Amino acid sequence: MKETMRRLTSILVLLTAVMTVQAEDTPLIGNVLNRQTTSLNGDWRYLVDVQECGYYGYRREKLSYGFFRNAKPQQPEDLIEYDFDKAETMPIPSDWNTRDQRLFFYEGTVWFHRSFNYQPKAGHRTLLYFGAVNYEAIVFVNGQEAGRHVGGFTPFNYNVTNLLKAGENFVTVKVDNKRSRENVPTLIFDWWNYGGITRDVLLVDVPQTYIGNYSLQLDRRNPKQLNFSLQLSAKEANRQVTLSIPELKIRQMLTTDANGHVSTSLKVRKLQLWSPEVPKRYGVSLTLGPTDSDASDMVSDSIGFRTIETRGKQLLLNGQPIFLRGISIHEEKPNGGGRANGPEDAHTLLSWAKELGCNFVRLAHYPHNEYMVREAERMGLMVWSEIPVYWTIAWTDDDTFANASRQLNAMIRRDQNRCNVIIWSIANETPHGKERDTFLSRLSRQAHDTDSTRLVSMAMEVLAASNYHNKLQDNMNEYVDVISFNQYIGWYRDVKDAAKMTWEIPYDKPVIVSEFGGGAKYGLHGAKNQRWTEEFQENLYRENTAMLDKIDGLAGTTPWILKDFRSPRRLLTGVQDYYNRKGLFSDQGQKKKAFYVLKEWYEGKK
């Protein structure tokens, strides 16, 4: 035993010496889908490590020779108790809950590993990009830690240039989706805690200095002015950046300041504004370098332009009052369960919303994948995008705030050029209180400071009526541009009283009812007062839509929800079976009777 331990330690010291080069935590690269990338999607090996023994020793000390080393026995007597090459595989991106039946309820650590051949370009950098990993990811490249990320729904990337070598490489990710009080979201939430590498994994090849991120949007109040800013990956002055929008005959040369930053405003005349009816986007290209031909970096994008603002209780798109015919959506595959990812899933879910007559979708309760947002932009659907500050977060915990703030920043930085995103939501159904108000008002300020072209909101609550009178009161009213609230008359309360209800929203801002609805098991029929029948849900929608028409300043609604979705909080056997059944579509995409009630109501809102 002593001899083996001595030999093992010497192997590992050797390994550690060779491998102590560092990776850099790098600001999120913008518009990764239009960069030079190598996809690492595909089959990855995985090991379920309930006690994290691939990372911690039996004294819970961190191991320097954990599974991330991908060690192989060198001598016959060598003791290595894992072998990724023999492990099962899982297609990435996906969630382990629906890919491996044994892991349906699993919350804990799973190791993912894959090798790949890569030829880094001389003088270039390589970023390793993840669209999202739920919840905590510790990323290793060739046995060396590249970085660690928490938060299951936002992208992150590391500069791994120094960790890669020409030829065979491997990446290993320790993923852990255990819930905890301090997390965002916190311990309890009404959706499935899908674990895994749930979105694309990409190697991004960029020059030494590259176009980091940029924003090109119409000024919120001036439809004749485009605001453009761009940040290089390095603080390099006097670098030439060219913005081209050929269709608008725009070709603007700009020079970076000492921080590698440029910004400018451009007057535009004949601009086709983006709208649900005409989701017009313009081809845009950005080059770094004196001319296009010897540009060191180039990014192209298709960007739409619109203004979104409020005037009293009115919501104005391109200066015209608009009613948001919306629906709430969870990021779950159209059929059955599992995390949705990719353009096909997005197109199917959004086509269902279109069938309903929607021009707006609330992507709940966390930033959905980029394909969803881009497909909605292409299909003419406006978007409400939200961070999972959901229910009772640890308001006084600094790390919790830093985490929420990082997620907000990543959400905005990824989608800041998607003109269909009109609302950033900073929270859902959070309890009144001083600590909560402080936490959320800081997030609201951050959202406004980071992006002046969009509106900020959050889903408040109206939990009870006194004498059938519902009054919304929330200190956060002054920190949001649109007043949104969830109400469940007909389901969680006042089942028979919708018609008697009156509403008072004492704030001179547009109102969105961000949730209402009730459950029904598809195919279950009966009297309209019989819970879980389609007739009960149908009636609830009839009564609620009539009631909502009485709300002064109602500028839109996003009923809960497009499709039945998996939830660990829904255990009624034979009815819920771990599905929240408030969908207008079943989990298999079948329309329930209430679908037609909402479709008809939206017809009247066109």
Residues lying near ligand GCU in the complex (CB under 6 A) are found at 190, 365, 428-429, 486, 515, 560, 580, 582
Q: How far is the CB of 355 from ligand GCU (least distance, A)?
A: 22
317 strand-pairing partners: 308, 320
Which residue number, 130 or 560, has a Cβ lying nearer to ligand GCU? 560
Q: Which two tokens stand for residue 88?
A: 């099962």
Which residue number, 226 or 540, has a Cβ lying nearer to ligand GCU? 540
Q: Which two tokens stand for residue 589?
A: 């995409």
DSSP calls for 287-300: EESSSSTT-SEEEE
Q: How far is the CB of 324 from ligand GCU (least distance, A)?
A: 18
Which residue number, 136 or 429, has a Cβ lying nearer to ligand GCU? 429
Q: How far is the CB of 515 from ligand GCU (least distance, A)?
A: 5
Burial class (CB in 10 A: 0-12, 13-18, 19+), 490: buried
Q: How far is the CB of 564 from ligand GCU (least distance, A)?
A: 11
Residue 269's alpha-carbon distances to 212, 218, 360, in angstroms, are 29, 12, 28
Contacts of 569 (CB under 8 A, 6+ apart): 188, 190, 580
Tally the residues of the chain. Answer: 606
Q: What is the DSSP secondary structure assignment for residue 61, as one 8-state letter?
A: P
Which residue number, 190 or 301, has a Cβ lying nearer to ligand GCU? 190
Q: How far is the CB of 384 from ligand GCU (least distance, A)?
A: 13
Q: How far is the CB of 333 from ligand GCU (least distance, A)?
A: 18
User: Which single residue is written with the structure tokens 């329309």?
Assistant: 591
Rounded CA separation 376/383 (Å): 7
Rounded CA separation 332/337 (Å): 6
Cis, peptide link before residue 185, omega less than 30° from 0: yes
Q: How far is the CB of 537 from ligand GCU (least distance, A)?
A: 12
Which residue number, 254 or 364, has a Cβ lying nearer to ligand GCU? 364
Which residue number, 417 or 537, has a Cβ lying nearer to ligand GCU? 537
Rounded CA separation 153/365 (Å): 10
Between the two ends of the chain, the Cα-to-Cα distance in Å is 78
- Which residue number places its CB atom closest to ligand GCU? 190
CA-based nearest residue to 176, from 116, 114, 103, 115: 103
Q: How far is the CB of 583 from ligand GCU (least distance, A)?
A: 10
Rounded CA separation 92/196 (Å): 9
Which residue number, 282 or 366, has a Cβ lying nearer to ligand GCU? 366
Which residue number, 359 or 487, has a Cβ lying nearer to ligand GCU? 487
Q: How far is the CB of 153 from ligand GCU (least distance, A)?
A: 14
CA-based nearest residue to 376, from 352, 350, 396, 405: 350
Contacts of 113 (CB under 8 A, 6+ apart): 44, 45, 46, 47, 67, 70, 84, 87, 170, 171, 172, 173
Greatest Cα pair distance in the chain: 82
Q: How far is the CB of 428 from ligand GCU (least distance, A)?
A: 5
8 strand-pairing partners: none
Rounded CA separation 502/447 (Å): 33
Which residue number, 339 or 582, has a Cβ lying nearer to ligand GCU? 582
- Pure H helices in 520-592: 534-548
Which residue number, 159 or 385, has a Cβ lying nearer to ligand GCU? 385
